[in-house]
A = this chain, B = another copy of it.
């Protein structure tokens, strides 16, 4: 069973700790801020409480909690680690400094993965002796309820490290998706970005309300995408499969895309306009609604897992 070191115990780091411990792995946690480390147990307890009703805390929640241990120093947290999951601030200089430390202190064969969504691994690992073992393992928030992990190598990353990371994430119950090389935004945020741009543009132009936009996705597009991807969706939307679909609808889709929103759709005005559709949603109200979201994500994950199990049994 691999040993995991979690470096940075904020929201994402804590959820990662939960993911690996839930799968039975030993998890060693460090944060540069002792106060954050002090709140680790409380954070894990909240995740156990939130996931247990949906059968998403693993077979033995007490054991899970006991497998997550905080350490006062980086050296101690890294001892014996097979995978180091770094979840620190998205600031280039901080990433560079922590990766230099991790490469110096982690066991020689340990894979070092960053949770970064905004920074590519080449920007902070290229100069390191151990660049071969550095990569991005980008989760979705929150990783204990949304299983995909994007694995992005840099130009210096070795296949052995990619394969080992993939194996460990899969053993932890996540769904690793490999990128062949690094690209700004990886895959998930590139797809999210184009949807956000076009959504904001349609809202800014007054074509649809914020609620109407969300309804179009949650009662429309998002239904199929929750259990198929966009590729299988189109493969099933024409009698002859994908090629038939793209022959029928490709020209229309291309026309729509040529006319779609660009980066200038992200304006302060539309931010205000969308904000007004969620009155009072800040601070404590955001946290309450996040708790609701997490409950729904857990319930949905269970639903989808039950459906897959039933299909496999048929």
* Interface residues, chain A, with chain B CB atoms under 8 Å away: 118, 140-141, 145-148, 150, 175, 177-181, 183-185, 187-199, 202-203, 206-210, 212-232, 234-244, 246-247, 250-266, 268, 270-272, 274-275, 277-278, 281-283, 286, 289-290, 292-293, 296-297, 299-301, 303, 307, 311
Contacts and interface: CB of A to CB of B under 8 A. Distances in A.
12 contacts: A178-B208, A189-B252, A191-B195, A191-B198, A193-B256, A196-B253, A210-B231, A236-B290, A238-B286, A242-B275, A256-B263, A299-B303
Contacts of A281: 235, 241-242
A144 B3 CA distance: 48
The 10 closest A-B pairs by CB, nearest first: A214-B229, A254-B263, A222-B225, A148-B220, A226-B226, A193-B256, A194-B194, A258-B263, A250-B266, A246-B271
Q: Interface centre among A118, A254, A264, by most B CB within 10 Å?
A: A254
A301 B223 contact: yes
A230 B196 contact: yes
Contacts of A263: 253-258
Contact of A194 (B195, B213, B264, B290): B195
A297 B210 CA distance: 24
B232 A191 contact: no
Contact of A177 (B216, B243, B286, B299): B216
Contacts of A300: 223, 226-227, 303
Copies of this subunit? 2
Nearest to A302: B303
A256 B188 CA distance: 11
A242 B220 CA distance: 22
B217 A283 contact: no
A253 B177 contact: no
Q: Is the interface of A mostly helix, strand, loop or mixed?
A: helix
A176 to B, nearest CB: 9
Given A140-B220, A220-B140, A195 B278 contact: no
B206 A180 contact: yes
A92 B308 CA distance: 42
A234 B190 CA distance: 14
A231 B199 contact: yes
Contacts of A188: 216, 220-221
Nearest to A152: B207
A280 to B, nearest CB: 9
Given A178-B212, A188-B216, 7 more contacts: A175-B219, A213-B229, A214-B230, A218-B229, A235-B286, A242-B275, A257-B265
A271 B257 contact: no
A299 to B, nearest CB: 6
A170 to B, nearest CB: 12
A144 to B, nearest CB: 12
B215 A175 contact: yes
B240 A266 contact: no
A148 B206 contact: no
